[in-house]
Amino acid sequence: MQDTMTAGSKAVLSSDALQALIVALARQGYTVLGPRVRDGAIVYDEIASSGDLPAGFRDRQDAGRYGLEPREDGAFFGYAAGPQSWKRFLHPPAQTLWSAQKTPDGFTISREEVSVPKLAFLGVRACDLDAIAIQDRVFCEGPYRDEAYATRRANVFIVAVNCSQAGGTCFCVSMQSGPKADTGFDLSLTELLDGTQHRFLAEVGSEAGAALLAELPHEPTTGAHLAAADAIIDNTAKQMGRHLDTDGLKELLQASLSHPRWEEVARRCLSCGNCTMVCPTCFCTTVEDHTSLDGFSATHVKKWDSCFTLDFSYVHGGAVRTSGAARYRQWMTHKLASWIDQFGTPGCVGCGRCITWCPTGIDITEEAAAIRASQCVKEESDGGA
């Protein structure tokens, strides 16, 4: 008898059912993308079986530090956020918008057709779910809808994974974006390991997720399963490697545009753009025209850009933000303050990638805390006067 599954329904899967889930998604025409070990990191790429997953690996992260090491329990998802986010599949690093071809009578222009494969994301963390929701608002809402993004987004099936271990640079609790996935998924999994059994507590988030879960071999949940999953989430929330005090932060940053801390951090910042490249929400792009050497064809390409590059703010007469201090201030105040004015939420989800992958270990939570601390000192001094 087939179970009646609806949003919020839960079931228990064995570790073997993970393979059945991947097979079922592939059978429905999805290209399954998930975490795997490559080049000394956990990255997102196409997977064909559960054997491709990074079972038995954990990552160690700190400011400017990342490394993998073995773990003894064989967890499939026992790591935190890696260098990549799911953004690159929905908002590609490079996209040809149109191409031109010279003809005997002049030239022709053809618009690039958007490829819309069915993609299944396996292993999406709560912070990255929040990041996808933020990019949905950026690209799909308001008067300037990005049809290419919207088309890709409509063809995605999401299997979320609740975090069982926080990274050294994670602060999703501060941003209220994790460690538990609450919305935005078709299915979510919590990995349960008790030393003798390896299972997953699955939760339905959509009709498509309900239909898929009904196909998989599963067992009913018990109070013990639910309590174990809750304990994992609670424990992960207590493991945060970083903390960001967001109370009044928007107003604080917008009132601190001349703060000396911007010059201090600029002495360390390389303006390399690493933080924006690994960020799951940064959306800035530029366009380039590429012409063939024979002059018979050209392409107009949209590519990721960064507010840390000098050319990013270039207008007739020169760049608006010529100093590293101005560019770092722009990035951080946009992420944590003016983003709220634009889209209603901060542009940061607390994944910690910008901290981990900064070559000089600049820490956005540390910079915010330093500005807050100096403001408190100033207020005390003014009060004392």
Answer for the pair 204, 5: CB distance below 8 angstroms, yes or no: yes
Q: What is the tens place of the pLDDT at every residue in 232-262?
A: 999 999 999 999 999 999 999 999 999 999 9
**Beta strand pairing status for 198-204 and 10-14?**
antiparallel
pLDDT at residue number 144: 87
User: Do residues 89 and 149 lie in contact, with contact meaning Cβ atoms separated by under 8 Å?
Assistant: no
- pLDDT for residue 6: 82
What does the alpha-carbon distance between residue 100 and residue 110 come to, in Å, rounded to a whole number? 6
Distance CA 35, CA 53 (A): 6
Instruction: Give the pLDDT of residue 1.
Output: 34
- How high is the pLDDT of residue 347? 96
Task: Give the start-to-end residue ranges of the domains of the chain.
Answer: 10-93+115-237, 249-282+307-384
Helix (H) / strand (E) containing 377: helix 364-384
Q: Supply the pTM of this predicted model.
A: 0.92
| Degrees, nearest 5: CA angle 193-194-198 | 40
CA separation for the pair 310, 326 (Å, rounded): 10
pLDDT of residue 383: 58
Give dist(CA 233, CA 164) in Å, integer. Answer: 6
Check residue 5 and give its pLDDT: 76
Calpha distance 46→30 (Å, rounded)? 11
- The stretches in the chain having pLDDT less than 50 are 1-2, 380, 385
Instruction: Return the closest-CA partner of residue 80 out of 236, 280, 243, 281.
Output: 236
**The predicted structure's pLDDT at residue 72:** 86
pLDDT value at position 2? 46
User: Can you give the pLDDT at residue 379?
Assistant: 53
**Greatest pairwise CA separation for the chain in angstroms:** 81
Q: Model confidence over 49-76: pLDDT tens digits? A: 999 999 999 999 999 999 999 998 889 9
Number of Cα atoms under 13 Å in the Cβ half of residue 302: 14
| Joined tokens for residue 239 | 């493991």
DSSP 161-211: E--SS--TT--TTTTT--SS--SS-SEEEEEEE-SS-EEEEEEE-SHHHHH
Counting every residue, how long is the chain?
Answer: 385
Strands (E), the chain: 10-14, 31-38, 41-46, 57-62, 65-70, 94-103, 106-111, 119-124, 156-161, 187-193, 198-204, 285-291, 297-304, 314-315, 318-319
CB 155 within 8 A of CB 117: yes
